[in-house]
Amino acid sequence: MSYIPPHKRHSKDPNRPSPVPDSLVTKFKNNLDFKSSSDKINRVTFSENFISKWLLVSSNGIKDELPASVDLVPFSSDSVECLNGERPLVLMNNDINKVSEQEERTQWLLIAEKVEEDLVLAYERAKTSVEENQHVLRLVARFGKILLYKRKPGPLAEFSQKNFKKMFSTNVPTSNLQHMMSNVVPNHGFSVDLEKETYTVKLSHSTRPTETINCKCTIKEDGRLSMYKAELNVVWHMVVDMSCIDKSLDMRLMLAAKRKMTALTEKEISDIKGLLDSATVDPNVKGGLRWPLGKASSGDGYRIFEVCHVRATIYKNQTLSLRVRETDRFNERTGTGAVKREVTLILKDVNTKLQEQNIERGCVIEMLRDTLGTIWDFMHCDASSLT
């Protein structure tokens, strides 16, 4: 049988994503497996004092325990990967109490008080690394779905975090995206700021196996890649996952630091550009790029392990930035790919305020409530529309 390059191999489900690491939940931190053998390269980098929380949010407020009316049901999408032969599960509320829209919105705004202390603390801790290493902090809200995988196959046991692996899927269903674009974007004064098409090529080096080099590229007139930015994988300082059990979407509030690569030698730049120059743009393969056989690595230790073709539209209003993008991703290590629609809200003003000295807590709470009001509108779609 002739050799078939990885980009030309097609599984039964071409859009299924590769597994990603769990997010941490504070009291179950020791039970989560972030250092599995399959994730040694693209491992998420956490700050020393990483803060993580998981909130259960319903129309009646924030729950400390899982309500009796909430069940674990198989996720209906075909674009997710099974684990141990079983599909992921999601939390679904079968007994949604009817409350007015105003009451529901008021309960949602209470999240500001729940996360404010951790958010301020995370910024205080992150400021040191920002000043010493010139990191750039960014506070974002991501929309998607929290997926739960049973750690062992068999009958569903009583719900307990230690019995599950948890991942946050950033794929937004078409129905939710249409709601956002038709209603929320115009109602909150967003206007198109930028449209762009890029390719991200993720590299690893044999001497730094746990670090990721993200090469951001555009396409030159001759069809070759042109790198305009190189970054290390971001450092996570805080993650608050919110299971919105009455809604079709969940949310992740995340504080992360972007790290620019500022110390590349001329030889390192030459080696990386050599890898990029050997790529061919091909819309018929996953990730949109392919390499000649044996050219996805160099003799100097660099190796390509993931590519991603991105079409993005950036919207802005006075206080927020909204990034809507379609990603076509292919992972060389796992041989899997995924096409996703992703929506990220960048909290510009809150991010700026929280980096100031002597922050007034009252001002922070008010800004968080204003921002959560906008986020609530993005998520204001009933769980019955889950697709």
Q: What is the pLDDT of residues 59-102, one digit of tens each?
A: 888 987 777 888 888 887 666 666 666 778 888 888 767 778 88
The crossing angle, in degrees rounded to 10, of helices 111-133 and 101-109 is 40
- At 138-188, the pLDDT tens digits run 999 999 999 988 765 555 545 566 667 889 999 999 999 999 999 999 999
% of the chain with per-residue pLDDT over 70: 81
Name the 3-class secondary structure at 110.
Answer: coil
Measured CA to CA, the distance from residue 105 to residue 372 in angstroms comes to: 9
If you count them, how many residues does the chain have?
387
Q: What is the mean pLDDT of residues 275-289?
A: 93
Query: Binning pLDDT at 50, 70 and 90, where does residue 360 land?
Result: confident
- The pLDDT score that the predictor gives to residue 99 is 79
Amino acid identity, position 346: I
Region of poorest pLDDT, from 31-35, 81-85, 238-242, 369-373: 31-35
Angle at 135 between CA 242 and CA 133, to 5 degrees: 135
Measured CA to CA, the distance from residue 384 to residue 270 in angstroms comes to: 53
- At 295-340, the pLDDT tens digits run 777 778 888 989 999 999 999 999 999 999 999 999 887 888 889 9
Residues sharing a CB contact under 8 Å with residue 289, sequence separation 6 or more, in sequence order: 7, 199, 201, 225, 279, 280, 281, 282, 307, 309
Contact 42, 212 (CB under 8 A): yes
Residues sharing a CB contact under 8 Å with residue 334, sequence separation 6 or more, in sequence order: 18, 19, 38
Reply yes or no on whether the pLDDT at 39 is more than 50: no
Amino acid identity, position 239: V
Name the 3-class secondary structure at 348.
Answer: helix
Half-sphere exposure of 168 (CA within 13 A, CB side): 22
Contact 150, 89 (CB under 8 A): yes
DSSP string, 1-23: -----GGG---SSTTPPPP-PPP
Between 387 and 343, the higher pLDDT residue:
343
The crossing angle, in degrees rounded to 10, of helices 101-109 and 361-379 is 140
CATH, range 6-385: 3.20.100.10
Residue 261 tokens, joined: 């690569």
Residues sharing a CB contact under 8 Å with residue 298, sequence separation 6 or more, in sequence order: 271, 274, 275
Show the DSSP H helices in 96-147 as ranges.
101-109, 111-133
